Structure 1
Amino acid sequence: MGSLVFRRALLTAIAFSLLAPASGSAGPAADARAIRAGLTSAVADGRLDPADAYRYRIDVRRCREVLKLLRYSRFSNLAAVLHVVARHAPRFNRRRVLALFGMLELNTEYLAVHPMPASGTDIRDDEGVVYRATWSHGLQFHPLGNFAALNADLTAGNDERAEALARALVARAVGPSGTSRWEYYFSFGGGRPPWTSGMAQAAAAQALARASVRYGDLALLGAAGRAYRAVADGLVMQLSTGPWVRLYSFNRLVVLNAQLQTVLSVANYAALADDSRAAAFAVRLRRAATDLFPRFDTRYWSRYSLGRESPLRYHLYVIDLLRKLALRTGEASWTHRADRFDRYTTEPPLLAPGSPVRTLYPIPADGHRDVAPIRFWLSKMSSVTLSVAGDEQSYRLTGGWHTLIWRPGRQSPGTYTPTVRAVDLAENRGSAALQPVMIRLDREPPVVRASVARRTLTWRSVDEGTPWLRLRVRLWRPGVFKLVRLGIHPLSGSLRLPLPRGRWTAKLVAFDSSGNRTAVPLGVVPAP
């Protein structure tokens, strides 16, 4: 017994020493070494059968051979999947490797003969398991996509396919005793894999309960219960209004559609499984959604999460969920919310002008009042085009106050009225005229007051068209004239005059940035 324990410990140490690639190595070769080491360790620890490990080593070898034949996107995406598997090598166990190597097999076979599909495309394997095209990550095992597919198969009456998929998904569940979780294995939104989703777990509970009823399979009902407990026991956060589902296990993003879908999924599971605790939990989730709902309504559009407006597809998704809640609960308030959100899809974006724009003096370009900060309010997320004097600028803006900068350059003096056009996510259009912008040429000399005390010159100036003055002092006495150049200075200030010896009659000459000048007599300097 002692020698067996020693042998397992030795194999584990050797395997994990291989998990870190040698200095300078990277890419598929290093990932393949890490995977093989992880398989060796899992076998040594009893987490994996040797026969399964042998088969998975063949998968790795086949992937490496296919990679040699691929280029560009197909190569990078298959290599990314191999890397995802390698990242999880220290956590290999019977269930996790089924998901990971099933994903590797599917990607190897698919990308060997097909281009990488568009992001969001679902590809299914022989068991019906869904792998979703994910930008730069290949075709990834996708729990929410899988349970949506299971529900769709059940609804369509594809019983053979649905039963096979249900069993395949149960086999891929991981988690501590009493719960079943389906993991996402790729990095997303700042979260480190593996991560889970409360919304996906609730969908799992509901779909597996449906399958259990359809096929009279209590094992599937047990899996549904474990999926639900994973939500209730660890994938909710407590807000002031009550429990809120974690869409992503790695953050506390408060997402409306996730909460509404989870309410429906958990309530449906509870009814199918006759689970009174789940039913009570669904009620608490629904009340939390009711109390927080006003914060998701901007009065012009919906918010996806607190502080962020919904993309169109999520806005429409929420409308659908609200109508389902109205049907399930019989509460008219959900219908009213759905109708209001639906109305937002037909209302044009509203625009309102902001504060007046100060007169511009763009010539010369001296950094002072050369550009116009054009401020306006927008009711909801839209594509916005600002037009001024034939110039157009386009932006994608959210609802709220915005300031856009117009640079007139050498535009002729005059008054210009900016207009702004907006097209919202549902293609509704709105427009408005904004505060006029006046452009002037500065032809007025600066108003300057100046005096000299001993050798200190002090000046104050008013000139709305310039940010600075170029100062000179003219000195003269009988038969002698001198010019002292003082350089550029702010509109007001003081400095010590660099006067030559003797007494002089002085005059300050101030030029603004447009070349306008003012002369101010200073009297005799230095003063007696």
Structure 2
Amino acid sequence: MPILCSLFALAAPAAHAQKKPTVTQELERLQAEGVDPAAIGTYRATYTDARARVKRLTGARKVELGGVVTDLEGMAARRQLTASRLPSLFLTLQRNVEWWTTQRLLSSGERVGFGGSELVFQHYPGHGIQIQWLGTFGKLNGYWSGGKRFDARASSLLDEIKGLAAERAGGLAWEYLFPFDGQQPPWVSSLAQGTGLQAMARSATRLNRQADVFPVALAGLGIFKTEPPAGVRIPSGTGAHYLQYSGLPKFKVANGFIQSLNGLFDLAQLTGDPTAQSLFEDGDRAGRAEIATFDTGAWSLYSRGAPVTKESDLGYHKLLRDFLTQLCKRTTAVEYCAAEQHFSEYLATPPTLQSLTSTITARKAGNVRFKLDKISRVTLRITKGGKQIAVLSPGVLYRGTKSVRWTAPKESGDYDVTISATDLNNNAATTTGVITVKKRG
């Protein structure tokens, strides 16, 4: 018994030491470290109110607001609440309280706004509405391109953006505060931040606000100097690739990287900052070498590396082409200009199909095989003597050698197969082949 007692005595402090901090405890810690007590009181009240409302809500509203509370509590448990993150964290929480207690239900990915604010929020099922930084920065770019009639709204949005920057990677960043594709918050994106630096520099120049905006934008270069997970920089050849997702260090997304280069280029040109120019040049060396690896010869790849290498859908293919058009104009680099030309041509080029020999035993399932050079919707029609025997519709298939299962009928012999493919831009092609159905042994 004395031995057991001593073991329990040792275990108790260890268990206590492993207890994770709560939101309330983290707010108390931050107040002790110097955060304004009035602000801490407001944050604490928002959190208490949100928890109480979750208990009273039902259905989807409970799930959505509860998800935001859980995300906040997870960050607190990981000791990720910092003074500079508090404004964005608790603004997000407050907006979710407002939305899910008074407004309509939302579809996945739907974007919304609030009166008196220019920020863009987007619905992520299970995580409520979140600040969509790419959408917000895109809105600021839209105000810049829309002319002086949007200057007042652009200035207001600049103020909101400045107030929600978090300290990260030795600088400032605009963070996403919810889990996404296996990443835990807070994470950052080269696509969003590169677009943000571009939009801030453009708008500051038009509004004559260089003095207060340029330092904030240049502080946003920190993530481009820093490896993940704090930053987005990974080595690539003699240069650097900038990750779309800081929490996925082996996942290269073409459109995000190319647009981050456009953003860095514009920031460097507008500010004359040597660090911005150097970071652009690092990315440019990698971009020129990498872009051909995203060209399949018939379509573009959306991503390469883990967790998945896959072709672009139509929207991402056009987006990458458009980002390359902009980068081609900025740099006149043959690598970007050639890729842009290829990706434009692929929009009008039908898929290429090749039927492969297939042999299937009567009354058994087997594979009908063929090759496809680009992502397409595929249909197979099997006939014998002009009579239709089966129609197989596997749906949208990625490029490569494909196998579609078919259960052969009892009659042996040769069956004709017509394989039709329509790519994502509605270019169509067909090919024919023969399936040999052999007698059962």
TM-score of the pair, normalised by structure 2: 0.85
Query: 1:238 & 1:390 partners in 2: Cα distance?
Result: 51
Q: SS state of the match for residue 127, structure 1?
A: coil
Query: 1:127 & 1:136 partners in 2: Cα distance?
Result: 24
- Seen in structure 2, the aligned counterparts of structure 1 residues 298 and 199 have a Cα distance that, compared at 3 Å, is same
Q: Which amino acid aligns with 2:239?
A: G
Alignment of 1:378-397 (within 5 A): 378-388=372-382, 389-397=389-397
The residue aligned with 2:368 is: 374
The residue aligned with 2:241 is: 244
- Seen in structure 2, the aligned counterparts of structure 1 residues 103 and 333 have a Cα distance that, compared at 3 Å, is same
Query: 2:358 & 2:196 partners in 1: Cα distance?
Result: 57
Among 196, 201, 207, the residue aligned to 1:204: 196
Q: Which amino acid aligns with 1:214?
A: R
The residue aligned with 2:213 is: 220
1:159 aligns with 2:156: no
Query: 1:17 & 1:148 partners in 2: Cα distance?
Result: 45
- Seen in structure 2, the aligned counterparts of structure 1 residues 253 and 359 have a Cα distance that, compared at 3 Å, is closer
Q: Which amino acid aligns with 1:249?
A: S
Q: SS state of the match for residue 401, structure 1?
A: strand
- Seen in structure 2, the aligned counterparts of structure 1 residues 241 and 424 have a Cα distance that, compared at 3 Å, is farther
Describe the superposition over 1:151-174 as per-residue Cα deviations: whole angstroms up to 9, x where unpaired.
222333422222222222222212
The residue aligned with 2:24 is: 36
- Richer in helix (by share): 2
Whether the 8 Å CA contact 1:260–1:289 is kept in 2: the answer is yes
The residue aligned with 1:493 is: none
Alignment of 1:263-278 (within 5 A): 263-278=261-276
Whether the 8 Å CA contact 2:375–2:396 is kept in 1: the answer is yes
Among 56, 67, 90, the residue aligned to 2:54: 67
Structure with max Cα Rg: 1
Whether the 8 Å CA contact 1:302–1:315 is kept in 2: the answer is yes
The residue aligned with 1:329 is: 331
1:232 aligns with 2:222: no
Whether the 8 Å CA contact 1:203–1:262 is kept in 2: the answer is yes
Q: Which amino acid aligns with 1:400?
A: G
The residue aligned with 1:423 is: 422
Greater mean deviation of Cα atoms: 323-332 or 378-387: 323-332
**What is the deviation of 1:76?**
0.7
Q: SS state of the match for residue 95, structure 1?
A: coil
Q: Which amino acid aligns with 2:347?
A: T
Describe the superposition over 1:54-96 as per-residue Cα deviations: whole angstroms up to 9, x where unpaired.
1122212332444355332222111111111222223333321
Q: SS state of the match for residue 431, structure 1?
A: strand
TM-score of the pair, normalised by structure 1: 0.71
Whether the 8 Å CA contact 1:257–1:318 is kept in 2: the answer is yes
The residue aligned with 2:5 is: none
Whether the 8 Å CA contact 2:362–2:410 is kept in 1: the answer is no
- Seen in structure 2, the aligned counterparts of structure 1 residues 115 and 434 have a Cα distance that, compared at 3 Å, is farther
**What is the deviation of 1:412?**
3.0
- Seen in structure 2, the aligned counterparts of structure 1 residues 430 and 241 have a Cα distance that, compared at 3 Å, is farther
Q: SS state of the match for residue 251, structure 2?
A: coil
Among 61, 82, 86, the residue aligned to 1:93: 82
Q: Which amino acid aligns with 1:291?
A: A
- Seen in structure 2, the aligned counterparts of structure 1 residues 56 and 436 have a Cα distance that, compared at 3 Å, is same
Query: 1:282 & 1:344 partners in 2: Cα distance?
Result: 28
**What is the deviation of 1:338?**
1.9
Whether the 8 Å CA contact 2:177–2:186 is kept in 1: the answer is yes
**What is the deviation of 1:51?**
0.9
The residue aligned with 2:43 is: 56
1:82 aligns with 2:42: no
Q: CA RMSD in A?
A: 2.5
- Seen in structure 2, the aligned counterparts of structure 1 residues 376 and 18 have a Cα distance that, compared at 3 Å, is closer
The residue aligned with 2:6 is: none
Q: SS state of the match for residue 318, structure 1?
A: helix
The residue aligned with 2:386 is: none
Greater mean deviation of Cα atoms: 429-438 or 221-230: 429-438
1:433 aligns with 2:432: yes
Query: 2:359 & 2:214 partners in 1: Cα distance?
Result: 70
Query: 1:54 & 1:333 partners in 2: Cα distance?
Result: 55
Greater mean deviation of Cα atoms: 254-263 or 167-176: 167-176
- Seen in structure 2, the aligned counterparts of structure 1 residues 96 and 387 have a Cα distance that, compared at 3 Å, is same
Greater mean deviation of Cα atoms: 145-154 or 57-66: 57-66
**What is the deviation of 1:333?**
5.5
Whether the 8 Å CA contact 1:116–1:138 is kept in 2: the answer is no
Point out where structure 2 has 5 or more consecutive residues left out of the alignment: 1-12, 383-388
Displacement over 6 Å in runs of 4+:
16-19
Aligned length: 406
Greater mean deviation of Cα atoms: 291-300 or 203-212: 203-212
The residue aligned with 1:283 is: 281
Among 45, 52, 64, the residue aligned to 2:33: 45
1:116 aligns with 2:105: yes
Query: 1:358 & 1:230 partners in 2: Cα distance?
Result: 55
**What is the deviation of 1:337?**
2.6
Query: 1:113 & 1:289 partners in 2: Cα distance?
Result: 47
The residue aligned with 2:358 is: 357
Query: 2:198 & 2:127 partners in 1: Cα distance?
Result: 28
Whether the 8 Å CA contact 1:241–1:292 is kept in 2: the answer is no
Query: 1:20 & 1:231 partners in 2: Cα distance?
Result: 32
Query: 2:25 & 2:419 partners in 1: Cα distance?
Result: 61
- Seen in structure 2, the aligned counterparts of structure 1 residues 168 and 78 have a Cα distance that, compared at 3 Å, is same
Query: 1:292 & 1:20 partners in 2: Cα distance?
Result: 43
Query: 1:20 & 1:325 partners in 2: Cα distance?
Result: 47
Whether the 8 Å CA contact 1:201–1:231 is kept in 2: the answer is no
Query: 2:113 & 2:355 partners in 1: Cα distance?
Result: 52
Whether the 8 Å CA contact 1:242–1:284 is kept in 2: the answer is yes
